[in-house]
Amino acid sequence: MIKSIAHVNVYVLNQEKALDFYKNKLGFDVGDDMTIEGGFRWLTVNPKGQPQLQLVLAEPQEGPMFTNEAAIKIRSLIEDGAFGVGVFETDDCQKTYEELAAKGVEFFQPPTEQLYGVEAMGKDDSGNWFSLVQRAK
């Protein structure tokens, strides 16, 4: 029986820049950062206090998972902003929005009242969008 999700891929254009974004702008912790045989870098981050869920910051490249053509297509989709990272929860959407915007995080929707709470929409340095949500009480 499956009991949890441990890792989720976030495709990025540059792992070093993505690491800087997730660590220094969003405040995530670094999980693993190792280079495996053949030059493949396994790089994970997680929200503080949630080490059981790791985001794998993966650069699409030719190898066991992708042909060169597929890697090029995925990179193009990343550049077009076609992928989402997911929903990041916060206790105070307005405050977190202001803190992240001050660090240079780009938002395309400010905190807005929704049926489920308050939501802002932003994107990472590769163009992957994310939702920042304060749940309704």
Instruction: For residue 52, give the CATH number of its domain.
Output: 3.10.180.10
Mean pLDDT for 45-72 is 93
Confidence of residue 9 (pLDDT cuts 50, 70, 90): very high
Instruction: Establish how many alpha carbons lie within 13 A of residue 67's alpha carbon, considering only the half-sphere containing its beta carbon.
Output: 3
Domain-embedded: residue 44: yes
**Separation CA 58–CA 56 (nearest Å):** 6
Domain-embedded: residue 123: yes
Domain-embedded: residue 2: no
Is pLDDT above 90 for 62?
no
For the chain, give the longest Cα–Cα distance. Answer: 49
Domain-embedded: residue 46: yes
Q: For 63-121, what is each residue's pLDDT tens digit?
A: 778 899 999 999 999 999 999 999 999 999 999 999 999 999 999 999 999 999 999 99
Domain-embedded: residue 91: yes
Domain-embedded: residue 54: yes
Domain that holds residue 76: 7-135
* pLDDT given at position 16: 97
Domain-embedded: residue 78: yes
CA neighbor of 107 nearest in space, from 94, 117, 116: 94
Domain count, the chain: 1
* pLDDT given at position 64: 78
Rg, the chain, Cα only: 16
Lowest mean pLDDT among 39-43, 45-49, 88-92, 107-111: 39-43
* pLDDT given at position 121: 98
* pLDDT given at position 38: 75
Mean pLDDT for 122-134 is 97
Domain-embedded: residue 1: no
